[in-house]
């Protein structure tokens, strides 16, 4: 083993010396257990470099460094100490541990296939305002994960709290910009369009989260988030998501909140990330919204969240609730709704009567006689 590690070291030393300005891998390079390699120049990977143990470090105190090529390198342990930042032009994987020492890792925000990819529950440490990923991070694993993401020189983490222990991938990034004019997400995420239970949406920042499995999400704020403009107290603060289907911001709940107006965090109810173009902060306090629709139910008979709860309906008698599945098929309706929907189809349309609806996301329309109708999404989890 020692001879093999020495051989790799001599091979890489020769490659560095010959290339001078770049290490270009055309073949099959492998870092073995206890092996270490330091890149002080750019890395181009057009070969196999994904079966590694040991440590790969990127170091430069004078210039930026770049990782590019046609194939993704995957390192076991990785260090980043590049004062002028490490730029990714191809995805880079970390299967065990990454330490931020100096500088940021920059990924192009308009290319979601170029990411820093934490595989197999990979972790990290050393993140702060000047040491994080400015761009997209992917996590593949079965544990809760906090994304070490930010924008420019601001760390603004986002956490995904998983609902099960299967291996699932989530990808996320933070944007310190007005959602009404997003730089890479396409159409405006209009902050004046929102559910009636909401009264104001942040126009300063948002997160992009992508993933196929439901989860709770924790967002963080700092003194530049102007939380006190959104809410008089933190209990009225909400995680909100922009639904491209409804073309409005949806109330995604507040299951826990901590901190003060300068620094804190808030956790949503269970949501399906791919139903929302972006996530940010909203409030139910300032405005006339007095009706709140809960965004998840778990009809399992434990007496907790067994039915779809809509608070404040006493302020709007003669209402009517309609519930649709993701294909637009009506599965339930009720005049003068009484918080009784427990995930059972009423069977008057294309769904057989008295059938339990499957786990998934559903949409509701609440018709109100004396104020604006409400529409949104909620999740059934059994």
For 333, residues 6+ apart whose C-beta sits below 8 A from its C-beta are 320, 321, 322, 323, 346, 348
Q: What is the pLDDT of residue 199?
A: 85
CATH code (residue 298): 2.60.40
- 245 in Cβ contact with 159 (< 8 Å): no
pLDDT > 70? residue 1: no
* pTM listed for this prediction: 0.74
- When mean pLDDT is compared over 32-41, 160-169, 351-360, the highest value belongs to 32-41
Measuring CA to CA, how many Å separate 107 from each of 195, 232, 243?
A: 34, 37, 26
- The arithmetic mean of pLDDT across residues 184-195, rounded, is 93
Domain count for the chain: 1
Q: 3-state DSSP helix/strand/coil percent for the chain, to nearest 5?
A: 10, 40, 50
Distance separating the N- and C-terminal Cα atoms of the chain: 51
Residue 20 structure tokens: 């001078």
Q: What is the pLDDT of residue 354?
A: 58
Is 371 a domain residue?
A: yes
Residue 303 structure tokens: 């007496």
Is 48 a domain residue?
A: no
Average predicted confidence (pLDDT) for the chain: 89
With tokens 């709940």, the residue in question is 253
* Cα 365 from Cα 321, distance rounded (Å): 6
> Residues 66-104, buried b or exposed e (16+ Cβ, 10 A)?
bbbbeebbbbbbbbbbbeebbbbbbbbbbbbbbbbebbb
pLDDT > 60? residue 8: no
* Cα 130 from Cα 255, distance rounded (Å): 30
* Cα 206 from Cα 158, distance rounded (Å): 11
Is 139 a domain residue?
A: no
With tokens 């009720």, the residue in question is 334
* Cα 374 from Cα 86, distance rounded (Å): 46
- Residue pLDDT, tens place only, 203-240: 999 999 999 899 999 999 999 999 998 988 898 899 99
pLDDT category of residue 347 using cuts at 50, 70 and 90:
low
Is 329 a domain residue?
A: yes
Environment class of 358 (CB within 10 Å of its CB; exposed 0-12, middle 13-18, buried 19+): exposed
* Cα 310 from Cα 371, distance rounded (Å): 15
* Cα 325 from Cα 328, distance rounded (Å): 5
- The DSSP code for 42 is E
With tokens 């940010």, the residue in question is 280
- Residue pLDDT, tens place only, 68-77: 999 999 999 9
* Cα 331 from Cα 347, distance rounded (Å): 7
Q: What is the pLDDT of residue 284?
A: 83
Question: Which residues form the domain of 360?
Answer: 292-380
Q: What is the pLDDT of residue 315?
A: 67
69 - beta bridge partners?
Answer: 45
Environment class of 253 (CB within 10 Å of its CB; exposed 0-12, middle 13-18, buried 19+): buried
Residue 42 structure tokens: 């750019």
- Residue pLDDT, tens place only, 244-291: 999 999 999 999 999 999 999 999 999 999 999 999 999 985 434 467
* Cα 171 from Cα 209, distance rounded (Å): 6
pLDDT > 90? residue 293: no
- The arithmetic mean of pLDDT across residues 174-197, rounded, is 93
With tokens 């769904």, the residue in question is 351
- The arithmetic mean of pLDDT across residues 294-317, rounded, is 84
Is 233 a domain residue?
A: no
Q: What is the pLDDT of residue 286?
A: 47
Is 181 a domain residue?
A: no
pLDDT category of residue 243 using cuts at 50, 70 and 90:
very high
Least confident of 120-124, 161-165, 306-310: 161-165
- 14 in Cβ contact with 24 (< 8 Å): no
Backbone angles phi, psi at 13, to 5 degrees: -60, -45
> Residues 322-350, buried b or exposed e (16+ Cβ, 10 A)?
bbbbeeeebbbbeeebeeebbbbbbeeee
């Amino acid at each position: 083993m020692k001879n093999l590690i020495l051989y790799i070291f001599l091979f890489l030393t020769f490659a560095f010396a010959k290339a001078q300005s770049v290490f270009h891998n055309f073949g099959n390079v492998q870092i073995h257990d206890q092996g270490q390699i330091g890149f002080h120049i750019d890395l181009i990977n057009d070969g196999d470099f994904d079966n590694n143990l040991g440590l790969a470090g990127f170091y430069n105190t004078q210039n930026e460094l770049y990782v590019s090529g046609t194939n993704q390198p995957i390192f076991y342990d990785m260090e980043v100490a590049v004062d002028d930042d490490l730029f990714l032009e191809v995805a880079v994987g970390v299967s065990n541990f990454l330490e931020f020492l100096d500088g940021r890792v920059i990924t192009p925000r308009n290319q979601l296939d170029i990411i820093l990819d934490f595989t197999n529950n990979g972790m990290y440490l050393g993140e702060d305002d000047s040491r994080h990923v400015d761009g997209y991070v992917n996590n593949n694993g079965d544990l809760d994960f906090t994304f070490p993401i930010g924008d420019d020189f601001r760390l603004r983490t986002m956490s995904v709290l998983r609902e099960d222990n299967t291996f699932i991938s989530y990808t996320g990034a933070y944007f310190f910009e007005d959602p009404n004019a997003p730089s890479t997400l396409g159409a405006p995420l209009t902050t004046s369009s929102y559910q009636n239970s909401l009264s104001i949406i942040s126009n300063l920042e948002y997160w992009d989260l992508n993933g196929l499995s439901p989860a709770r999400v924790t967002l963080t704020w700092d003194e530049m988030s102007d939380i006190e403009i959104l809410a008089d107290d933190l209990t009225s603060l909400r995680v909100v998501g922009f639904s491209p289907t409804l073309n409005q911001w949806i109330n995604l709940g507040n299951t826990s909140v901590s901190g003060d107006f300068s620094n804190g965090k808030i956790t949503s109810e269970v949501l399906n990330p791919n139903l929302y173009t972006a996530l940010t902060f909203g409030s139910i306090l300032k405005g006339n919204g007095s009706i709140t629709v809960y965004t998840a139910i778990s009809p399992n008979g434990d007496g907790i969240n067994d039915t779809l709860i809509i608070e404040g309906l006493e302020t709007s008698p003669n209402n009517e609730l309609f519930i649709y599945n993701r294909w637009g098929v009506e599965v339930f309706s009720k005049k003068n709704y009484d918080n009784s929907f427990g995930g059972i189809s009423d069977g008057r349309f294309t769904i057989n009567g008295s059938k339990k609806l499957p786990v998934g996301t559903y949409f509701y329309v609440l018709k109100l006689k004396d104020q604006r109708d409400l529409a949104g999404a909620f999740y059934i989890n059994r």
